[in-house]
Structure 1
């Protein structure tokens, strides 16, 4: 607001990184937990168990899951192990994409998560603000018609920040790299504490 007060010609840009971060933290995570709880209450413990430890899979792009499966087939080592701490070497496991497909097939809301992720990704590739605005409006419509409070919250977020989101079509700037570096620094600091 201070910048806009002094420089009203500035355009606010809400980059892909922060929109996806909000989607992952405020939609994917709570929907997964709510679905797991609903399945437990319905007595479908097998389906509820299948949702355990799936946050990473649900927040990842399909291309990332395919890359990890490829790394597993190549025998990529993810931890060298340590004789000092009695830890064994760990190799990447396969089955990310298959697990993802199974989750989407079993649950309508999880399928909607995948649909929204794909549409958001495609919208942020557009360079025409009008087309991007139409794509975002389509995502808002999908979110509002799920009947799920978390999706509806995300739909309202997109509506409230519509101008700043579609400005990205003109100015492709992002703080994603900086945020990623900050997260790496935090991780290293946390590991340093032991």
Structure 2
């Protein structure tokens, strides 16, 4: 499923490479460069269109979070410079540039409605990942190769487990909130009520 492929790429490739590069820079005596990478996780994971939107929100002084009186939290406005920062990261590091390339190819693959085209895109990603000689990219290449047939059939059927994942998260959240429910029947009724609100 697309959700799990992207999640695996973000968690096992993007995050791990960022940590490795941060350690390398610190060991090479570049603490400032290492510090710059510390808060770059979500920048590296985001699509360029998302970063452009965040910069646009910053120009409009859009609120991200309102001030809270109970916990005395200040209001937070969207901050800009995301796309510029992203471009700087890509220019400075070949692995980050490869991350951007793979993200773009994954997006193209999942937007394809032809199995052959999607398969070609996925095989291209596998070749790029292997060519990096990086252990995290190689792990991702093996993951794609093992599940290749199941992944490219998405182009034909377009079936996703996105709604199922959303329902599962709703159930988990409600279970955490619902310690006061007297029995399973009451919990089930609450879940049915939630599902009707969602639809």
TM-score band by shorter chain is: 0.7 to 0.9
Separation in 2, partners of 1:51, 1:30: 12
Name which of 119, 125, 131 aligns with 1:133.
119
Q: Deviations over 1:108-129 (max 9, x none)?
A: 1011100000011001111111
Separation in 2, partners of 1:44, 1:188: 46
Shift of residue 39, structure 1, vs aligned partner: 0.8
Report the equivalent of 1:96.
Answer: 82
Change over 3 Å in CA distance of 1:50–1:143 after alignment to 2: same
Shift of residue 189, structure 1, vs aligned partner: 8.2
Change over 3 Å in CA distance of 1:191–1:83 after alignment to 2: farther
Shift of residue 176, structure 1, vs aligned partner: 2.6
Shift of residue 134, structure 1, vs aligned partner: 1.1
Change over 3 Å in CA distance of 1:174–1:131 after alignment to 2: same
Aligned length: 178
Structure 1 residue 161 and structure 2 residue 161: aligned? Answer: no
TM-score when normalising by structure 2? 0.82
Q: What are the within-5 Å matches in structure 2 for residues 10-49 of structure 1?
A: 15-49=1-35
Q: Deviations over 1:85-119 (max 9, x none)?
A: 22211111111111111111111101110000001
Deviates more, 1:39-48 or 1:145-154: 39-48
Shift of residue 83, structure 1, vs aligned partner: 2.5
Change over 3 Å in CA distance of 1:96–1:81 after alignment to 2: same
Report the equivalent of 2:162.
Answer: 176
Separation in 1, partners of 2:173, 2:82: 24
Structure 1 residue 80 and structure 2 residue 66: aligned? Answer: yes
Separation in 1, partners of 2:30, 2:146: 38
Across the aligned residues of Structure 1 and Structure 2, the Cα RMSD in angstroms comes to: 2.1
- Unpaired runs of 5+ in structure 1? 1-14
Runs of 4 or more consecutive aligned structure 1 residues displaced over 4 Å after TM superposition: 180-192
Shift of residue 133, structure 1, vs aligned partner: 1.0
Report the equivalent of 1:11.
Answer: none
Q: Which has the higher contact order (CA 8 A, sep 6+)?
A: 1
Shift of residue 46, structure 1, vs aligned partner: 2.0
Report SS of the residue matched to 1:51: helix
Q: What are the within-5 Å matches in structure 2 for residues 113-124 of structure 1?
A: 113-124=99-110
